[in-house]
């Protein structure tokens, strides 16, 4: 749990690159996007320039809406959340600080990400309240019935494991499973359920046979799993997984509601692209023509 929490804070840590020209390449509702930010997101996520731009547009839309609504977070709230994270991991505040440093992160960066998380919670507060209102026994049972693969167990599983330096490499394999890039490590094997650690078991239990797991960031790159086969599949009865069903329903409904909210923000936003992000190939072919300005509303 501590590694998962620490990674969520680490994902937004700034990437320092003195060679990057910090020019503004887009403006979203008066919130600038710089080339520095684009490169930072690419380094942290392995995303393509276009995908990184989409991530940044979403972030700037959030920032703009937070400012418009006058949402703020104070130091006391950040301290309380930090202590809650420490308590959740059965650590003291000082022990959590030490753990953060041991993971190679900066304490101030960790607090910055707590602040961002709290701002988002306040922004989406009314949405989450509506989801909570809809969390009825009937809706949870319906979710359980429609997503039975999330509540299955098995005796053994055959997996193909993919390890890469960037998320983009694994995205290509997800789009075309027959691809075997030379820079992606691939390993296939069969494991019994009682041989697997809880983290891996949780990931693959929620993946249907013939499907890929989500891409998982690690210290040295990215991983994902393809479920080739599951033996001894059994769907667990509702009463034994009711808490998991509630958690799954709430998570699913929150994602849907946030996506709809962000789509509405984007449809009303003033997005001005000053310079479109390009791949290395496109950059090498680019001539010295004047930068194009495009407005989207």
Given this model, what pLDDT does residue 183 score? 86
Instruction: Give the other-Cβ count within 10 Å of 240's Cβ.
Output: 10
Instruction: Give the other-Cβ count within 10 Å of 149's Cβ.
Output: 15
Given this model, what pLDDT does residue 295 score? 43
Torsion angle of the four alpha carbons 54, 57, 59, 62, in this order, in degrees rounded to the nearest 10: -130
Query: Is the fold of 2-124 the same as that of 155-232?
Result: no
Q: Provide the residue-wise pLDDT of the chain in tens; the chain has 297 residues.
A: 444 444 444 433 333 333 444 689 999 998 899 999 999 888 877 778 888 899 999 999 998 999 999 999 999 999 999 999 999 989 999 999 998 888 778 888 899 899 999 999 999 998 899 999 999 999 999 999 999 888 888 999 999 999 998 888 898 899 888 888 788 999 999 999 888 888 888 888 878 889 999 998 887 788 999 999 999 988 999 999 999 999 999 999 999 999 999 999 999 999 998 877 765 555 555 544 444 444 444
Given this model, what pLDDT does residue 278 score? 66
Given this model, what pLDDT does residue 5 score? 45
Instruction: Give 33's strand partners.
Output: 26
The domain 2-124 is placed in CATH, from the list 3.40.50.300, 1.20.1440.230, 3.10.129.10, 1.10.4030.10, at 1.10.4030.10
Report the chain's terminal Cα–Cα distance, integer Å: 41
- Assigned token pair, 169: 């490499």
Report field, pTM of the whole predicted structure over 0.85:
no
Q: Name the residue with tokens 């961002």.
A: 116
**Domain residue ranges of the chain, discontinuous segments joined by +:** 2-124, 131-145+239-262, 155-232
CATH number of 155-232: 3.10.50.40
Given this model, what pLDDT does residue 204 score? 87
């Amino acid at each position: 749990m501590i590694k998962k929490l620490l990674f969520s804070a680490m994902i937004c840590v700034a990437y320092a690159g003195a060679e990057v020209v910090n020019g503004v390449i887009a403006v979203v509702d008066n919130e600038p996007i710089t080339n520095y930010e684009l490169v930072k997101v690419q380094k942290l996520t392995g995303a393509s320039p276009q995908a990184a731009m989409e991530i940044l547009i979403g972030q700037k839309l959030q920032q703009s809406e937070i400012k418009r609504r006058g949402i703020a977070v104070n130091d006391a709230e950040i301290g309380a959340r930090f202590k809650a994270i420490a308590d959740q991991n059965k650590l003291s505040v000082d022990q959590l600080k030490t753990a953060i440093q041991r993971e190679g992160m900066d304490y101030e960066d960790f607090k910055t990400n707590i602040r961002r998380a709290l701002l988002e919670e306040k922004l989406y507060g009314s949405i989450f309240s509506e989801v909570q209102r809809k969390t009825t026994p009937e809706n949870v049972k319906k979710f359980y019935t429609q997503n039975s693969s999330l509540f299955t167990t098995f005796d053994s599983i055959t997996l193909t494991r993919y390890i890469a330096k960037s998320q983009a490499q694994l995205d290509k394999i997800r789009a075309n499973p027959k691809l075997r890039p030379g820079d992606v490590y691939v390993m296939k094997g069969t494991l019994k359920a009682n041989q697997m650690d809880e983290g891996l078991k949780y990931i693959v239990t929620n993946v249907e046979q013939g499907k890929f797991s989500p891409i998982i960031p690690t210290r040295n790159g990215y991983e994902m799993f393809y479920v080739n086969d599951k033996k001894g599949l059994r769907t667990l009865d509702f009463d034994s997984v009711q808490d998991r069903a509630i958690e799954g329903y709430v998570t699913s409904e929150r994602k849907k509601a946030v996506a709809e909210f962000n789509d509405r923000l984007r449809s009303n936003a003033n997005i001005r692209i000053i310079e479109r992000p390009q791949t290395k190939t496109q950059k090498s072919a680019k001539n010295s023509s004047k930068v194009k300005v495009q407005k989207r509303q």
